[in-house]
């Protein structure tokens, strides 16, 4: 394995993915083409352009699948770039795509989950407003996400990063008639923008120090211990992590994700659960060599933040009534697991959890969407007893919930791997918090399941199972949610598919990550027990509800639950800061501009004008002009006398003239 990698490392542009890798860029472009096509023709088509979006992702999925299989067999490592501009002293901007184990996994994930969700959306959005715009923006997201995960350098990653942010903003605010949704979009965009400052500054630090933004170059520099990178590694790594915190909703940047549920449910499933929010995790995995070989200090920060996120934000899911918010908090919590895993050195463990999480969380969201579609409410207090009305939704939901809770299905394997990594690294406290988190996860999922599907129906009308176009995607997603765990059972290598660990190891430099060589049965048992305990307690609290249906959700722990309902006051704090900036601070600045600076300018203008008035009125009008006025008055007076001579009679003039001549003649003759 290692020798093949180092061989590949010497010839990164060798293109051993063949034609498929050389043309992988098609995947990055197709969704954008779909975006433009839908904008242009979407309104005229039967599914309002949904078919174009689906077709684009279906073609993409062919590439992704072929590459995935090729990578599983022999590894694919390729990179194609085009220069889009350079600045004199060696600063080069490039676009292109990198094809290696990590990006191929993400290509597959985005295209597979994307395709399933797109198909689901054909049914879910059928009677909605602006369906063409929905699919256009959704395609825009898919394109931006693929640009992000296929990025060969930090610049393209930033382009994709902001692109998915834009798509997220557009789709969270999809129902923009209601300004609350717009505010949720703004919150998401701005929260991410704050974190993006870290990403951009981190990219500058890392890129400028080694003179390249190319991930390969950064990996090599980190692997070989380049001193110029080592000098900025800690600060740069911290900044990059700061950026990742935003997109991956790590505490305290998690505040945007629950609000982001204002978007249509397919958006929540694909973007705010399966793919977009994992961009931060992906970034950490992409930059893993930097953290592994250089910026070890940053990993401590990452572990602390990740642990706080996985437990603290997970707790918030217990008090949420909105079913999508429960899932959103759960997503944040799982992202915390992934972040902690990668920080602990579990490159494979984190990515594997990302992989399984994408399938079962998308499944859960689509299930929730199916329920919402039937009930026309997001609130679990309006649901109940849906098990009987919506059997397919119910059973696929159970698969997803078990997977998420870590009981038996795919989530069990990936979570166990994370726990094993923590155990191996001796992070005892983190390990126990994570196990407690697993308990919390199982508990709130049990709560959501029992409140939604058991008991009696509380809502209006008679709910019914969703159409085939929505249930089939549920079933399709249930398969990987159930069995994806087998891909990475330590020591097990599937025929033709190999092992997830091997897939991911196809990188330019060895990752040096810590992944379990064998199943840690002890930890697995503890994790499983914690999860089962969570389900059981959930069942005890939320299931036995024979007599008082309405009081089911009345379980309360004093102090803790009110605090959770206030979301630890972090939202309020953030809103307060924003209000402070937007209100008093902005007004102060505007005031200084209008009254202080402009007041000065106007004051000068007034002073000058006043001076002018003085000069004019006093000096000019009374002084200088007085003299001239006097002179002109004299002239005027003289004129009024003299002008009588000008009678207008020509002959009078002639007579005067003759008289004058005669006088002159007389003077000549008699005087001289």
Partner 1 sequence: MEWFETWGLTLTVFLPLVGVVLLGLIPKENESALKTTGLVASIMTFAASLILIARFDFSSNTYNTYQFEVSETWIGAINANYHVGIDGISLPMLVLSTFVMVLAVIYSWNHWDEPKNPKAFLILMMILATGMNGTFVALDLVLFFLFFEIVLLPMYFMIGIWGDKTPRKIPGFAKEFETRLYAAIKFFLFTLFGSAFLLLGFLALYFESGKSQFGRTFDIPQLTELGASGAFSGTFAFLVFGAIFLGFAVKVPMFPFHTWLPDAHTAAPTVGSVLLAAILLKLGSYGFIRISLPILPEEAVSWAPFIAILAVIGIIYGSLACLAQSDMKRLIAFSSVGHMGFIMLGISTMTDIGINAAIIGMVAHGLITGLLFFIAGSMHHRYHTREMARLGGNIKLMPVMGGILAFTAMASLGLPGLAGFWGEFMSLVASFNPLPGLSLGVFRSAMVIGAIGTILTAGYMLWMLQKVNLGEPGDEWEGKEFHDVDRFELAAWVPLIVLIVVIGFFPKFIFSSTTDVVTSLVDMAFNSETTAAISSQIGG
Partner 2 sequence: MLLSQFLVLGAALFAFGIYGLLVRRNIVLILLSVELMLNAVNINLIAFESVLVSPEAIGHIFAIFVITVAAAEVGIGLAIVLMIFRNRKSANVDDLNLMRW
The least distance separating partner 1 from the CB of residue 88, rounded to whole angstroms, comes to 3
Taking the C-alpha atoms of residue 504 and residue 510, their distance in angstroms, rounded to an integer, is: 10
577 binds, among partner 1, partner 2, none (CB under 5 to 8 A by kind): none
- Number of residues interacting with partner 1: please give it, by CB under 8 A: 59
Count Cβ atoms below 10 Å from residue 637 Cβ, excluding itself. Answer: 10
Q: Which is nearer to partner 1, 185 or 336 (CB)?
A: 185
How far apart are CB 630 and partner 2 at their closest, in Å?
23
Of 205 and 427, CB closest to partner 1: 205
Applying CB under 8 A, among 23, 73, 297, 602 the residue interacting with partner 1 is: 602
In the complex, least distance from residue 223 CB atom to partner 1, rounded to whole angstroms: 24
Which of 658, 666 has the CB closer to partner 2?
658
Q: Work out how close the CB of 599 gets to partner 1 at its nearest, in angstroms, rounded to a whole number.
A: 5
Per-residue mark of binding to partner 1, 176-195 (x: CB under 8 A) = xxxx--xx-xx--xx--xx-
Residue 324, phi then psi, degrees to nearest 5: -70, -30
**Footprint (CB under 8 A) of partner 2, residues 584-643:** 643
Residue with tokens 């085009």: 82
Q: Does 43 bind partner 1 (CB under 8 A)?
A: no
Nearest to 146 by CA among 240, 29, 273, 12: 29
Q: Which residues contact 275 (CB under 8 A, 6 or more apart)?
A: 109, 110, 113, 114, 145, 358
Helices (H), 211-264: 215-224, 227-247, 256-259
- Distances 93 to 27, 78, 90, 213 between C-alpha atoms, Å: 21, 18, 10, 8
Binding partner 1 (rule: CB under 8 A), the pick from 201, 210, 398, 479 is: 201
Q: Of the listed pieces 128-136, 260-268, 349-357, 650-658, which binds partner 2 according to CB under 8 A?
A: 650-658
The one among 558, 651, 669, 670 contacting partner 2 by CB under 8 A: 651
How many Cβ atoms from other residues are within 10 Å of residue 636's Cβ? 10
Q: Which is nearer to partner 2, 608 or 634 (CB)?
A: 634
Nearest to 481 by CA among 392, 395, 359: 359
Peptide bond preceding 252: is omega within 30 degrees of 0, i.e. cis? yes
Among 649, 668, 669, 671, binds partner 2 (CB under 8 A): 649
Nearer to partner 2 by Cβ, of 2 and 650: the residue is 650
Among 161, 253, 293, 542, which residue interacts with partner 1 (rule: CB under 8 A)? Answer: 161
Give the Cα separation of 563 and 653 in Å (integer). Answer: 112
DSSP for 14-46, please give it.
G-TTHHHHHTTHHHHHHHHHHHHHHHHHGGGST
Among 76, 121, 184, 205, binds partner 1 (CB under 8 A): 205
Cα–Cα distance between 479 and 367 in angstroms, integer? 14
In terms of C-beta density within 10 A (0-12 exposed, 13-18 middle, 19 or more buried), how is residue 548 classed?
exposed
User: Exposure pattern of 13-34 as b/e (b: 16+ CB <10 Å)?
Assistant: eebbbeebbeebbbbbebbbeb
Q: Of partner 1, partner 2, none, which one does residue 650 interact with (CB within 5 to 8 Å by kind)?
A: partner 2
Span interacting with partner 2, options 37-45, 189-197, 630-638, 648-656, rule CB under 8 A:
648-656
Which residue among 650, 669, 671, 672 contacts partner 2 (CB under 8 A)?
A: 650
598 forms part of the interface with partner 1 (CB under 8 A) = yes
Ramachandran region, residue 594 (left: φ > 0; alpha: ψ -120 to 50; beta: rest): alpha
The answer to whether 333 and 311 are in contact (CB under 8 A) is yes
355 binds, among partner 1, partner 2, none (CB under 5 to 8 A by kind): none
Asked if 82 and 95 count as a contact pair (C-beta separation under 8 A), the reply is: yes
Q: Which residues form the interface with partner 2 (CB under 8 A)?
A: 643-644, 646-651, 654-655, 658
Q: Which residues form the interface with partner 1 (CB under 8 A)?
A: 83-89, 91, 93, 95, 155, 158-159, 161-163, 166, 169, 173, 176-179, 182-183, 185-186, 189-190, 193-194, 196-197, 200-201, 204-205, 207-208, 578, 581-582, 585-587, 589-591, 593-595, 597-599, 601-603, 605-606
């Amino acid at each position: 394995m290692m020798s093949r990698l180092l061989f590949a490392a010497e010839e990164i542009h060798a293109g051993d993915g063949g034609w498929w890798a050389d043309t992988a860029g098609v995947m990055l472009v197709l969704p954008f083409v779909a975006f433009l096509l839908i904008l242009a023709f979407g309104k005229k088509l039967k599914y309002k352009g949904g078919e174009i979006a689906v077709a684009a992702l279906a073609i993409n999925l062919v590439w992704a699948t072929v590459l995935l299989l090729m990578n599983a067999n022999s590894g694919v490592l390729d990179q194609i770039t085009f220069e889009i501009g350079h600045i004199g002293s060696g600063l080069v901007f490039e676009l292109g795509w990198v094809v290696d184990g990590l990006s191929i996994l993400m290509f597959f994930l985005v295209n597979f989950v994307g395709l399933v969700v797109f198909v689901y959306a054909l049914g879910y959005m059928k009677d909605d407003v602006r369906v063409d715009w929905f699919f256009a923006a959704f395609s825009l997201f898919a394109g931006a996400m693929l640009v992000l995960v296929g990025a060969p350098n930090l610049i393209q990653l930033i382009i994709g990063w902001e692109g998915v942010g834009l798509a997220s903003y557009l789709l969270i605010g999809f129902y923009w008639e209601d300004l609350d949704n717009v505010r949720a979009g703004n919150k998401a965009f701005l929260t991410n923008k704050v974190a993006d400052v870290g990403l951009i500054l981190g990219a500058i630090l890392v890129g400028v120090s080694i003179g390249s933004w190319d991930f390969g170059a950064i990996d090599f520099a980190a692997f070989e211990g380049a001193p110029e990178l080592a000098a900025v590694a800690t600060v740069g790594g911290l900044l990059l992590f700061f950026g990742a915190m935003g997109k991956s909703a790590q505490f305290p940047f998690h505040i945007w994700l629950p609000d982001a549920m204002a978007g249509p449910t397919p958006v929540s499933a694909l973007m705010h659960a399966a793919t977009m929010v994992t961009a931060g995790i992906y970034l950490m995995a992409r930059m893993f060599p930097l953290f592994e070989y250089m910026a070890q200090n940053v990993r401590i920060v990452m572990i602390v933040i990740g642990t706080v996120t996985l437990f603290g934000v997970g707790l918030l899911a217990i008090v949420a009534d909105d079913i999508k918010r429960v899932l959103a908090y759960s997503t944040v919590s799982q992202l915390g697991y992934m972040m902690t895993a990668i920080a602990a050195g579990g490159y494979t463990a984190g990515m594997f959890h990302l992989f399984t999480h994408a399938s079962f969380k998308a499944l859960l969201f689509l299930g929730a969407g199916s329920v919402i579609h039937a009930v026309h409410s997001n609130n679990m207090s309006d649901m109940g007893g849906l098990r009987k009305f919506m059997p397919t939704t119910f059973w696929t939901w159970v698969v997803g919930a078990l997977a998420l809770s870590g009981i038996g299905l795919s989530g069990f394997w990936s979570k166990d791997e994370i726990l094993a990594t923590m155990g191996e690294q001796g992070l005892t406290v983190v390990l126990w918090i994570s196990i407690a988190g697993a308990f919390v996860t199982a508990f709130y999922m049990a709560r959501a399941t029992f409140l939604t599907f058991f008991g009696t129906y509380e809502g209006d009308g008679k709910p019914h199972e969703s159409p085939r176009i929505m249930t089939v995607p549920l079933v399709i997603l249930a398969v990987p949610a159930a069995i994806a765990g087998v891909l990475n059972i330590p020591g097990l290598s599937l025929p033709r598919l190999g092992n997830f660990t091997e897939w991911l190891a196809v990188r330019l430099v060895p990752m040096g990550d810590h992944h379990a060589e064998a199943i840690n049965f002890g930890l697995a048992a503890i994790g499983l027990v914690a999860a089962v305990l969570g389900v059981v307690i959930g069942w005890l609290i939320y299931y036995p509800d024979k007599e008082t249906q309405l009081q089911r959700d009345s379980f309360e722990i004093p102090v803790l639950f009110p605090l959770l309902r206030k979301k630890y006051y972090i939202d309020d704090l953030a809103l307060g800061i924003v209000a402070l900036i937007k209100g008093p601070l902005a007004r102060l600045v505007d005031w200084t501009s209008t009254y202080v600076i402009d007041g000065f300018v106007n004051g000068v203008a007034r002073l000058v004008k006043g001076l002018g008035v003085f000069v004019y009125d006093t000096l000019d009008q009374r002084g200088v002009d007085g003299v001239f006025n006097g002179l002109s008055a004299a002239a005027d007076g003289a004129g009024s006398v003299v002008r009588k001579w000008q009678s207008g009679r020509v002959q009078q003039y002639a007579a005067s003239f003759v008289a004058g001549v005669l006088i002159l003649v007389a003077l000549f003759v008699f005087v001289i």
